[in-house]
Structure 1
Amino acid sequence: MSHAEKQSAKLSVRQLTIIFFLGLGYTIVYATPFIQYVFYDSLVATLGCTQQQLGYLITIFGIGNLLAPFGGMLSDKFNTKKIYLLSVGIICVLNVLFILNMTYSFALIIWAGFAFFALFLYFPAHTKLVRLVGSENQQGTIFGFTESFCGITNVIVNFIALFLFAKFANDTFGTNGLKAAIIGYAVLGVLSLIILAILVPDPGKPTPESGGESNINSKMTIKDWVSIVLNPRTWMSGIAVFTTYTMYCTLSYYTPYFSNVLGVSLAGTGAIAIIRQYGTRFIGAPVGGWLGDKIHSVSKVVGVSLAAAVVIVLVFMLVPVGTSAAVLTALTLCAGVLTYMARGCMFAVPSELKIPRKYAGTTSGVVCAIGYCPDLFIFVLFGYWLDKYGNAGYQNIFIYAAVIMAIGVVNAIITQIYKKKVLGKESAQDAA
């Protein structure tokens, strides 16, 4: 790498500012669809629904992942920035409409709207805009900081929401507080919308990072879309996300495993969960992304992180009851850091595999559909095992996670072989 390239690998203040507000936008878009993770009891009481019915909202939302490839095609064919701003704006409107009619039947409609605008339109546009923030040799660092900033803004936004909830929750079910929190999400969403409209350059205009070409592919056809869907590079990228996301989902089961099986106090497990959820994200994601750029291979970082995580999962299965909280905390920190190192790199794999930037929207949509499909079954599967087998179900969860992560390691190895044999050959032909 030349000195100029090394310099360009460093992010400017402007780039970091754009990434921060893209992270804020991401947090806002998914705040209300996943509001049950913050205001569970109040939401159930306000909607007057059962806990099973509440689960259907997430199921409806998760179906939107299957639509993302088609939304990605729109992001590639039309102006990505305009699609992004439109989807964020409509999410804010849906928030306002929801607080005007907080019934379960209307919530089903609103969550279907969230699925359409947050997953079909927003997610591919978000991923493409993140990729367009910098050059191809900055992708690991860019996506790593994006993941970290999503964590930081998540903490900020939800503390604001909690403050608003506490201030206005003066009724029996806390409905007024819930409304105030959602209004807070909408206001912050409009703020991020205005700032991003100013900061983010128009992707329809040539940029230095795009090689002087527009990042809108006006000739995008169904044939192009099918070729991207069937491209092995797309599937290698999708499997990287699928296996990493499985590792991420499994993290949440460590906390009840510690308390129910290993006998750690609830206070201890809560502290471990907080450290795992927030502390490791701020460190792991940017470090993983930076390392991926440093060694010129984000897929290697994903593969090594998954391999190390397999070992940790196996260790969790073997540690005896009575293991000290200090040892479990250390293992959890390692698992969290590895998870976020992989998450900070996983969406940069298409760049490493040299999938053209003008197809970034379609690619991210397909990768989203592949990578996040565990939302459709993994929690139901894990819940079934725990309901049927009790604490013994955790063994099934850990074995499943280890197998899936091992597949991710194999996928990373195949990616390296593909790069060497196929992409290397293409580079040699281009040079000739």
Structure 2
Amino acid sequence: MKGKLRKNIPTLIILIIAGEMIYTLPYFRNYYYDVFLNAFQLTNTQMGTLGSAYGVCCLISYIFGGYVADRWKTKHLLSISLFATGILGFTLLLYPPYPVLLLIYAAWGITSIMTFWVALIKAVRSLASENEQGKAFGFFEGGRGAAKIIESALVLGLFAFLAKQLSDKLALTSVIIFYSVMCILLGFMIMLLYKEPGNNNSDEIKETSNKKFDWAILLRILKMPTTWLAAILILTSYAMINSFYYITPYATAAFGASTIIAAALGYFSQYCRPIGSFGSGIIGDRIGISNMVIIGYCVLAIGLAALIVLPGKPSFILLLLVFIAIIYISMYALQATHFAILVEGDYPVEITGTVAMPLMIIGYSGEIFMPIVAGACLDHWSGTDGYKVLFSILLGLTIVGLITAIIWQRVTKEKRKAIVLQKREMIAS
């Protein structure tokens, strides 16, 4: 890594860890389900409602997150979000009643999305030059995957040790303290390390960094064909990310995989994530982000097609693992390009929040409709047929994404030429 990104590696690492740790508090209950249920004296329905409260506020936050990101300073938004998330985590130590828990989870939907996520994307974009966006987001997504693996192992080890020595509830308390302290510490680190783009000496950056959210800019963005193409790219690839966990029960139903192997397949996705993300970032900057996107869709289509036609026999379980690896790696490779590709659409970093509004509303809508589609498929078609229909739908969306990426290349032809020229000039200098 050379140039601007290399100088900002320490800041990128902090953003990577923050981008992973802030979501541990809203989701850790899923990993310690029974202990959490007993410690807070909840029913399974109440436990599910906590996730719904968080999800509803996340959806609302996606709508307004862009406005917030372009209205206030990135550093302040990131730090305040981490502080607030950590403080809310500490309130769990009081083991409050269910209504208070609902409010906490709803608040996390705001602190982890509305004031944080788009600001985080904006921050990552600002750390790299135009020809380094692939590496920036590739290392960001891959780093989050690696951080997740390390964090999960450490916290699980801590929980297991304290649960054996003391009690499950005290072990859960230690997990809550750890996540809450980490969020607050990361908030302070971002406050100290991250520098706003306006601190750069470039007059052009100073001029654009003073711009705040402007509805006229949003209207202009909505008129750009690249905005809608980028939204479709996120939608079609994110649908796979919302549905990949159906591969695990399919492996059990069709190939007779044991529960241990099925569980391992779920964890396997996290080990494929750094490979797909790092590879996508490095290759994308060398051959062009949109070229990497096209390759990603092609590989994903091959993996899904193979998953559909592969005979459901225990003897094919190893071959199944290969195709699953192909799906996971290409899936995360595409995720790493979601915002890196914006550089080819000629969107300045300073209006990332405004651009992100339509992209997230459309692109992340898969979180709403894909579980419904999957459920309908499994209920309507019995046995493994329902899974194959679901995978066929995902294959169709993948092909739509591939066609969209090809159209994107035609629309952004001039900007892509300018990026290549800039890269050659930087190498020559």
TM-score (norm: length of structure 1)? 0.88
Moved more, 373-382 or 87-96: 373-382
Identify the match of residue 126 of structure 1 among 120, 144, 154: 120
Q: Is the 8 A contact 1:79 1:203 kept in 2?
A: no
Answering whether residue 165 of structure 2 is matched by residue 174 of structure 1, we say no
Segments ≥4 residues shifted beyond 6 Å: 170-173, 421-425
Moved more, 316-325 or 89-98: 316-325
Shift of residue 376, structure 1, vs aligned partner: 2.0
1:187-207 C-alpha deviation (Å, 9 max, x unpaired): 111222222222211333235
Shift of residue 401, structure 1, vs aligned partner: 1.0
Answering whether residue 346 of structure 2 is matched by residue 354 of structure 1, we say yes
SS of equivalent residue, structure 1 residue 394: helix
Identify the match of residue 372 of structure 1 among 349, 364, 369: 364
Shift in CA distance, 166/123, structure 1 to aligned 2, threshold 3 Å: same
Amino acid at match of 2:306: V
Count of aligned residue pairs for this structure pair: 417
Amino acid at match of 1:379: P
Distance 1:104 1:384 in 2: 31
1:159-201 C-alpha deviation (Å, 9 max, x unpaired): 2322332244479993332222121111111222222222211
Q: Is the 8 A contact 1:299 1:349 kept in 2?
A: yes
Q: How do 1:1-150 residues align onto structure 2 when only pairs under 5 Å count?
A: 7-8=2-3, 11-12=5-6, 14-63=7-56, 64-150=58-144
1:255-275 C-alpha deviation (Å, 9 max, x unpaired): 211111111233333333333
Q: How do 1:9-408 residues align onto structure 2 when only pairs under 5 Å count?
A: 11-12=5-6, 14-63=7-56, 64-169=58-163, 174-207=168-201, 211-213=204-206, 216-275=209-268, 277-296=269-288, 298-322=289-313, 323-391=315-383, 392-408=385-401
Amino acid at match of 1:301: M
Shift in CA distance, 344/423, structure 1 to aligned 2, threshold 3 Å: closer
Shift of residue 359, structure 1, vs aligned partner: 0.3
Moved more, 340-349 or 190-199: 190-199
Shift of residue 229, structure 1, vs aligned partner: 4.3
Shift of residue 222, structure 1, vs aligned partner: 2.3
Q: Is the 8 A contact 2:39 2:95 kept in 1?
A: no
Shift of residue 95, structure 1, vs aligned partner: 0.8
Moved more, 168-177 or 362-371: 168-177
TM-score (norm: length of structure 2)? 0.88
Distance 1:352 1:397 in 2: 32
Moved more, 325-334 or 217-226: 217-226
Moved more, 109-118 or 197-206: 197-206
Distance 1:407 1:399 in 2: 12
Shift of residue 52, structure 1, vs aligned partner: 4.0
Identify the match of residue 415 of structure 1 among 408, 420, 426: 408
Task: Give the CA RMSD over aligned residues.
Answer: 2.8
Shift in CA distance, 301/424, structure 1 to aligned 2, threshold 3 Å: closer
SS of equivalent residue, structure 1 residue 306: helix
Moved more, 28-37 or 374-383: 374-383
Shift of residue 333, structure 1, vs aligned partner: 1.4
Distance 1:333 1:172 in 2: 39
Shift of residue 417, structure 1, vs aligned partner: 1.6
Q: Is the 8 A contact 1:67 1:369 kept in 2?
A: no
Distance 1:108 1:172 in 2: 28
Q: Is the 8 A contact 1:76 1:216 kept in 2?
A: no
Distance 2:129 2:346 in 1: 12
SS of equivalent residue, structure 1 residue 259: helix
1:128-187 C-alpha deviation (Å, 9 max, x unpaired): 000001111100000000001101111222223223322444799933322221211111
Unaligned runs of 5+ in 2: 421-429
1:281-314 C-alpha deviation (Å, 9 max, x unpaired): 1211011011111112x12322321232122212
Q: Is the 8 A contact 1:68 1:121 kept in 2?
A: no
Identity %: 25
Shift in CA distance, 376/48, structure 1 to aligned 2, threshold 3 Å: farther
